[in-house]
Amino acid sequence: MNSKKSIAILGSTGSIGTQALEVIATHSEKFEVEVLTAQNNADRLIEQAKKFKPNAVVILNEDHYEKVKAALVPLHIKVFAGENALASVVQMDSIDLVLTALVGFSGLKPTLSAIEAGKNIALANKETLVVAGDLVTARARQKGVNIYPVDSEHSAIFQCIVGEFYNPIEKIILTASGGPFRGMKKNELEKVTKAQALKHPNWTMGAKVTIDSATLMNKGLEVIEAKWLFGLKPEQIEVVVHPQSIIHSLVQFYDGSIKAQLGLPDMRLPIQFAMSYPERLNTDFPRFDFLKYPSFTFEKPDTETFRNLALAFEAMNCGGNAPCVLNAANEVAVTEFLNEKIGFFRMTEIIEQCLAKVKFISQPTLDDYLQTDIETRAKAKELIR
């Protein structure tokens, strides 16, 4: 009998994926790698597969298929390519848990596919819930699938409600570092560059989420993600800026008691907890020390300057396909900002215009979401041209 948890990592070559593999390597008595997948980074995927010996790998960009196949088939590792392959590989019987660490909208379909097959999900792809949180959480409930959050904020909340799942939540408070431009006003922000936006004060993350942190859109997406993960009403979710990023988020129960999860910013911890829950595993990660952090500060987020956060709250309040529009417009805007085609504030304008122009659907089907995503991307690109 195999008592190890068999993990599929979707997006294994990214920041979350590689840290997940680090956790697995440290706790090889608990976990084994069943599937690895990558978008483009064939070399790293091959290297990871050689080390972790998964049952199968998927390279999404089919151009790299032959290369990956040549490297891994001799090692008796199955090699697949393309989106459809991904959707069926995540349903393999031997998988216990699917870690979805894909970037953006692309996480939606494979996550739904894994849920369909009854796989528990460690969710690092917040866009899946932002775009189609209603469908995804409803299907997870029907299939008896647990969704364990990997985002540090949502992991914090999950850690705080362990053992209290029946105690009503009054509200949650997501903490935000404020990003590299905290305290700046519009005139100072107009000329910030990609390089400046990519320098996050506390966290080392992928490029997309780092830009989202600089605009506060990341916190906006997290607000919407939290609504679905924890079954909250919009008015139950608050954001407080906490520049030290030590308190990762807080839950207030309806007796008034607040619980918080804290620690040094280190994504390996929430990744590990999502994989090992309900058990915690010993680590040698650096420990937090109050004497090195003699002060925690808190302030209101400046949503007049960083309007993306306000837009995310608006989209959440609208419901329907509005968060899907928000997300698609933001993905295009961030890509073009990273391509140095547009400036910092132009990102916000594009999202706002897409929200105004793409047709609102109050109760979208999955097809509606897919269509909204396509339509919004086209609209955003048109606005940029």
Query: Which positions lie near a second copy, rule CB under 8 A?
Result: 159-160, 162-164, 166-168, 173, 240, 247, 250, 252-264, 266, 269, 272-273, 278-283, 285-288, 290-291, 293-300
Write down the least CB distance from residue 247 to a second copy, Å.
Answer: 8
SS3 148: strand
Q: Could you tell me if 351 and 216 are in contact, meaning their C-beta atoms sit under 8 angstroms apart? A: no
Pick between residue 18 and residue 283 the one whose CB is nearest to a second copy. Answer: 283
- How far apart are CB 150 and a second copy at their closest, in Å? 14
Identify which of residues 15 and 252 has a Cβ nearer to a second copy in the complex: 252
> Whose Cβ is closer to a second copy: residue 261's or residue 376's?
261
- Alpha carbons 330 and 315: distance in angstroms, whole number: 12
The CA distances from residue 16 to 12, 62, 67, 222, 270, in Å, are: 7, 23, 24, 16, 10
Which sign, positive or negative, has the C-alpha torsion 277, 279, 285, 289? Answer: positive
Min dist CB 224 to a second copy, Å, is 21
Nearer Cβ to a second copy (303/371): 303
CB of 258 to a second copy, least distance (A): 4
- Residue closer to a second copy, measured from CB, 279 or 367: 279
Q: Least Å distance between CB 95 and a second copy?
A: 24
Tokens 């040094």, residue located: 264
For the CB of residue 285, give the shortest distance to a second copy in the complex, in Å.
5
Q: Which helix (H) or strand (E) holds 294?
A: none
Least distance to a second copy, CB of residue 279, Å: 7
Q: CA-to-CA distance for 130 and 252, rounded, in angstroms?
A: 23
CB of 86 to a second copy, least distance (A): 31
Bridge partners of 79, per DSSP, are 57
Whichever of 74 and 286 has its CB closer to a second copy, that residue is: 286
In the bound state with a second copy, the residue whose beta carbon lies nearer, of 247 and 355, is 247
Q: Which class for 161: exposed (0-12), middle (13-18), buried (19 or more C-beta within 10 A)?
A: middle
Nearer to a second copy, 123 or 271 (CB): 271
CB burial of residue 163 (10 Å; 0-12, 13-18, 19+)? exposed
Sign of CA dihedral 59, 62, 63, 65: positive
Q: Which residues sit opposite 385 in a β-bridge? A: none
H-state helical runs in 53-125: 65-72, 83-89, 108-116
132: CB partners within 8 A, 6+ apart: 108, 112, 324, 364, 366, 369
